Amino acid sequence: MSATAQAEMLPKVPPMRIVPQSNWLRIDFGELWHFRELLYFFVWRDVKVRYKQTVVGAAWAVLQPFLTMLVFTLFFARLAHIPVGGMPATIFYYSALLPGMYFSSSLLNATNTIVENQRVITKVYFPRLVLPLAATLSGLVDFGISFLMFVAMMIYYGIRPTYAILFFPLFLLLALLTALGFGLWLAAMNAIYRDVRYVVPFLMQFWMFASPVVYPSSIVPERWRWLYGLNPMAGVIEGFRWSLSGRGEPPGKMIIASSLMVLAVLAGGVAYFQRMETTIADVV
Amino acid sequence: MGPVVIQADGLGKRYRIGQRQPYLALRDLIGRALGAPARMLSKNGNGSGGKEKNFVWALKDVSFDIQEGEVVGLIGRNGAGKSTLLKILARITRPTEGSAEIHGRVGSLLEVGTGFHPELTGRENVYLSGAILGMKKAEIDRKFDEIVAFSEVERFLDTPLKHYSSGMQMRLAFAVAAHLEPEILLIDEVLAVGDLAFQKKCLGKMGDVARTGRTIVFVSHQMNQIRRLCGRVLWMEGGKIRETGPAATTVGDFEAAMTSKSDTSIHGSENAKAIFVRWEIMEPRSDEANVLRTMGEVKIKFVVQVRRPVKMAQHGVSLRNSDNQLIWALATDHIDLEVGEQEFCYTFPSLPVRPGAYSWHVSLYEEGDQLDAWDCMPAMNVATENYQHARDEWNGVLNVPCEFAIEEGMKVGS
């Protein structure tokens, strides 16, 4: 086959210019779409490797939130009598642990993603955004498995979902964007400052107590609720609780504050990440 | 030649010295922040004066055009900027200045087994590595059997890669890489590994790729590989392009430059009775009198400037390759020379030495006193066709065309 015949078969790609600086405020969605299969393979790799390296495999995704839920129920609900918003304590905690654990594991994975893939990064080009994106997406598999446990619990308690469940996908999306937004910042920072990854687990502990995991956000005075919502996980967790159990009240003002915060973090994260991306291969 | 597919315009890449070594830790940053007020108080500070010193240009003012279908070799010493250039073209790193324009899909093979994961099976790694190197899933599906057959590791396809021997990993990695079909392929020295038979197979595959009209930019330290595969060569030195030209000539010049010349001879002393002034290939005559392109008859002359008559002299000549190995030598006695330019001519039916740089050495003695000895400049560049083994380490001193045939022997017991 001659060169020209070959070239005619393939769609022409526009000429690519290599220049010193990129426009780091712009996301090239066309390029991301072009690399969607690679994104899929990175997610697939993360999931495969994670389950191959563990003894109990997928059961881990259930055990972790379930055992945590039992401990919380015993200490916070039974012994400390912290209010649980008019629902079974187990449901109260588990519905918060679902997004909480997804968030912390995705964030940790996203933080490490540039450093862990440094060999690939220094040998082949692809939009680096694919890596933290894959880290946050692959966390959804664990999330899905632990969600099945939640469904079983709902059936056990005979709780029927209400119309509120229709909002659940939005809260899940908000959780994903929260993890991605902060993940972009931390991934970029970790590439430059290697001890960021040790800070993150520590950070997550504080974050959990700053979020309504073991207590309802109703203990925060009404007029400070929007400020509390600037922690996007507060909005996400209350949203999960309300949409899944159908009890309590919709998170209203809090979710607006959380959404705006996430958009700001995400936009800043993309810009910071892409700025770092231009020098990443020289640093890692 | 086709249209220009890679156009580089004044590419430069600056690294900060030490940028690659220590990883920063947050504590360094905190330490620096705490130290900042103290530094501001001591006024002299580390101003901008010494700034340039902390940088090194790995690449500077590099411009070239590569046309569609060309196979271009990048040669040069370590640290000459070859890999940096390749990384910029592959978009792994950005240039500090200048720009490049690329028309077509780019595939880069800067490492064998890019993206391999030890926990995954051979089958899974073919998909993963293929995707990372730029193949579509449908494309991998289509080529999967071919890739596996090429790798010769069919039996272990469902074994995790960590249980593979390094040789097997390499085969699998090559098999994936060899089936990459971008329009422009950037390759960095990856063929320098693997066992001989397999390497030949890869070279064959690469040759096929080149013949289908794809553009290849290829870094290698194996000069005969470059000679065999590349049409044109860019020789890089100190981050710049030192020379560009046809593979045979430029590789030869490069090898000649690498052969460290320590001119210890007493060549050219003022009061010598006679000195050598130049040498050249007389026949076949060409524009470059130091480049040999024929396997046929060669006539070489060494020109001597005789200042005072010389009686009963001895003259020696020798030829060495770039490893300083003696290839051939001859001495002649009883030479009488008149004042003026004299030419010492040697005619060989053929000089069947393998392509590369060679140096002539000539000397002249009179009754035991050295009149002159000269390591001839420039080096002789043999740019004949290569009839050699595919691997450099199996390339011998001689370069002779030969026929191979299998003929039926005498029948036993009939």
Per-residue confidence (pLDDT) for residue B348, from 0 to 100: 94
Q: Which residues of chain A approach chain B closer than 8 Å at the C-beta? A: 1-4, 6-7, 10, 13, 15-22, 37-38, 40-41, 44-45, 48-49, 52-53, 119-126, 192-196, 199, 278-279, 281-283
Model pLDDT, residue A269: 94
B48, pLDDT greater than 50: no
Determine the distance from the C-alpha atom of residue A130 to the mean position of all C-alpha atoms in its chain, rounded to a whole number: 14
User: Confidence band (pLDDT; 50, 70, 90) for B126?
Assistant: very high
pLDDT greater than 50 at residue B142: yes
Structure-model confidence comparison of residues B22 and A241, the more confident one: A241
Q: What is the ipTM of this complex?
A: 0.84
Test A281 with B93 for CB contact under 8 angstroms: yes
One DSSP character per residue, chain A reads --HHHHHHHSPPPPPEEE-S---TT---HHHHHHTHHHHHHHHHHHHHHHHHS-SSTTHHHHHHHHHHHHHHIIIIIIIT----TTS-HHHHHHHHHHHHHHHHHHHHHHHHHHHHTHHHHTT----TTHHHHHHHHHHHHHHHHHHHHHHHHHHHHTPPP-GGGGGHHHHHHHHHHHHHHHHHHHHHHHHHBTTHHHHHHHHHHHHHHHTTTSS-GGGS-GGGHHHHTTSHHHHHHHHHHHHHH--S---HHHHHHHHHHHHHHHHHHHHHHHHHHTTHHHH-
Q: What is the mean pLDDT of each run of 10 residues along chain A (284 residues)?
A: 43 77 74 91 91 77 91 89 85 93 94 90 90 95 93 92 91 96 94 86 90 88 86 93 85 88 95 83 67
Query: Each residue of B364-410: pLDDT tens digit?
Result: 988 778 888 888 888 898 988 888 887 777 888 898 888 888 888 87
Question: Which pTM does this prediction carry?
Answer: 0.73
Chain B positions in Cβ-Cβ contact with residue A1 (cut-off 8 Å):
212
The C-alpha angle A15, B175, B135, rounded to 5 degrees, equals 35
Contacts of B128 in chain A (CB under 8 A): 41, 44-45
**pLDDT value of residue B268:** 62
- Look at A13 and B29 and tell me if their CB atoms are within 8 Å: no
- From residue A148, alpha-carbon distances to A51, A98, A154, B262 in Å are 17, 11, 10, 78
Res A197: pLDDT = 86
B208 Cβ contact partners less than 8 Å away, ≥ 6 residues apart: none
- Smallest CA–CA distance, residue B26 to chain A, in Å, is 6
A52/B105 touch (CB, cutoff 8 Å), yes or no: no
Residue A179: what are its φ and ψ, rounded to 5°? Answer: -60, -40
Quote the pLDDT of residue B32.
61
The predicted-structure confidence for B261-304, as pLDDT tens digits, reads as follows 444 445 666 677 888 988 999 988 888 888 898 899 999 999 99
For residue B209, the chain A residue with the least C-alpha distance is A3
> Which of B94, B117, B158, B185 is the best mutation test for A, with the most CBs of A within 10 A?
B94
Say how far apart CA A94 and CA A158 lie, in whole Å.
16
pLDDT of residue B333: 87
The larger pLDDT score, comparing residue B35 to residue A43, is at A43
Of A59-73, B23-37, B200-214, B349-363, the one with minimum mean pLDDT is B23-37
Least confident window among A34-38, B1-5, B242-246, B402-406: B1-5
More confident residue, A6 or B17: B17
Q: What is the pLDDT of residue B15?
A: 82
Model confidence at B66: pLDDT above 90: yes
pLDDT for position B262: 43
* CA B218 from centroid of its chain's CA atoms: 9
pLDDT of residue B405: 87
- Report pLDDT for B107: 86
Closest CA to A102 of A176, A154, A173, A32: A176
* Tokens of residue A86, six digits: 């008019």
Please tell me which residue of chain B has the smallest CA distance to A54.
Answer: B119
Pairing assessment for the beta strands B369-375 and B356-366 based on DSSP bridges: antiparallel
The residue among A193, A274, A282 with the most chain B CBs within 10 A of its CB, best to mutate, is A282
> What integer best gives the mean pLDDT of chain B?
83
| pLDDT band at B29; cut points 50, 70, 90 | low
- CA-CA distance, B167 to B4, in Å (whole number)? 38
Helices A59-72 and A130-157: crossing angle in degrees, nearest 10, is: 60
- Per-residue pLDDT tens over the stretch B161-200: 999 987 888 888 888 888 888 888 888 876 555 566 666 6
Tell me what pLDDT residue B43 has: 43
Asked if B247 contacts B68 with a C-beta cutoff of 8 angstroms, the reply is no
